[in-house]
Amino acid sequence: MTSKELFLAAIEHREPDRVPMKIPLLYEWQQTEESYREYREYLASHGDRCPAWYPPKTRWFLDPGMIQEEVIEEADGGQRHVVHTPQGRMEAYSPAEGSGKRPKRFMSSAEDAKKFLSLPEQIARPDLSSFFEKQAVFGDEEFIWIRLPDPICVVAGNFDEEPFALLSVTDEPLIVEMLDRVCARMMEFLEYLLSHGVKGIYNFSGPEFAIPPLLSPQHFDKFVVKYNSRLYDIIHRHGSWIETHCHGKTDAFLEAFADMGSDLLNPLEPPPFGDVILSEAKRRVGDRLCLVGNVQLDDVVRGTPDHVRRLTEEAIRQAAPGGGFVFSLCAALYQPQLSQHCTDNLKLILDIVNDLGRYPIRS
């Protein structure tokens, strides 16, 4: 089976030839970084590459021609981003790496939220040629993974954390108005992408902004399920699929992720950083969600081969039987330099999945 066929079988809860693997190189620089070469070549011959596509950058899904924005280089090496709105300036600060300074997001008050809401509502229509160029490279062998933030990611991700949490309680209607606005933009943006042939697996990140400890479980329904389900309906109507990405303690929300229309759910973090036990998740929602996970990246970066082997085999045995499982790490590779130790552990994982992950799964 091709990689695409493996993933489609897993999504449809059928048993493929082997467990699909999602340990991709998400960033363009990793395609040329010398320290990644050994893993890059091994992945191409022993795993699934899962090529990612990011839509051309827009500010909050708005037409760039309608937004006045400037980037100011600061003396300390950081950058100040300024967006001019009808109700005044919004500013964010990105410190220089290693400076020890804290970043500042665009919003930290109700006043900033109102500036955000004053922006003209003309939706971006970016050039999509880069998607079709990537599709031509991989053909029918691989799904293209289209990566987008969801409404809560756009709103909360541009708010300083504490003010966002407080406003969610003291001025919930204001947060809802922002989410309504962003969701409407995204629905139109998705229709544009899908109607022009941008199809594959849509990966959404953001729900972790609306689970404890930042917000209450009640906020998850109001801030995530309500909006993501609308977006997911559009994607399904156009014949594509959805992977929802959410770090943290997600065990209490597994059914909600299924209810809102997710096809795949990752990374299903185990304790202590998360609270998901794969076998229990399989029992509860394994017939509704394709489970994607769940070995922590840090275990691969620093763990012994025996430790990595044990975690990989445990994940396969817990979640692979019957299909509906994709082996994945809980975070993407991001290190500027990939160590030989990590490379060896990654290659070991691919070997284990190619052996133990063959169907029917051996007990």
pLDDT of amino acid 362: 86
pLDDT for the residue numbered 97: 86
Across residues 61-81, what is the average pLDDT?
94
**What confidence tens digit (pLDDT) does each residue in 186-208 have?**
999 999 999 999 999 999 999 99
Residue bearing tokens 């989410």 = 179
190 has which bridge partners? none
The correct CATH number of 3-64+109-356 out of 3.10.180.10, 3.40.50.300, 3.30.530.20, 3.20.20.210 is 3.20.20.210
pLDDT at 56: 95
CA neighbor of 356 nearest in space, from 322, 312, 290, 298: 312
Average confidence (pLDDT) over 321-333: 97
Give the torsion through C-alpha atoms of 217, 219, 220, 225, to 10 deg: 140
Whether the predicted pLDDT of 68 surpasses 80:
yes
pLDDT at 107: 98
Q: Is the pLDDT of residue 363 over 80?
A: no
* Alpha-carbon distance values, 256 to 64, 185, 200, 242 (Å): 35, 24, 23, 14
Q: Residue 326: left if φ>0, alpha if ψ -120 to 50, beta else—which one?
A: beta
The full set of domain ranges for the chain reads 3-64+109-356
Q: What is the mean pLDDT of the chain?
A: 97
Residues above pLDDT 70, as percent of the chain: 100
Residue pLDDT, tens place only, 2-51: 999 999 999 999 999 999 999 999 999 999 999 999 999 999 999 999 99
> pLDDT for 113-138, tens place per residue?
999 999 999 999 999 999 999 999 99
pTM: 0.96
Over its C-alpha atoms, the chain yields an Rg (Å, rounded) of 21
Is a pLDDT exceeding 90 seen at residue 98? no
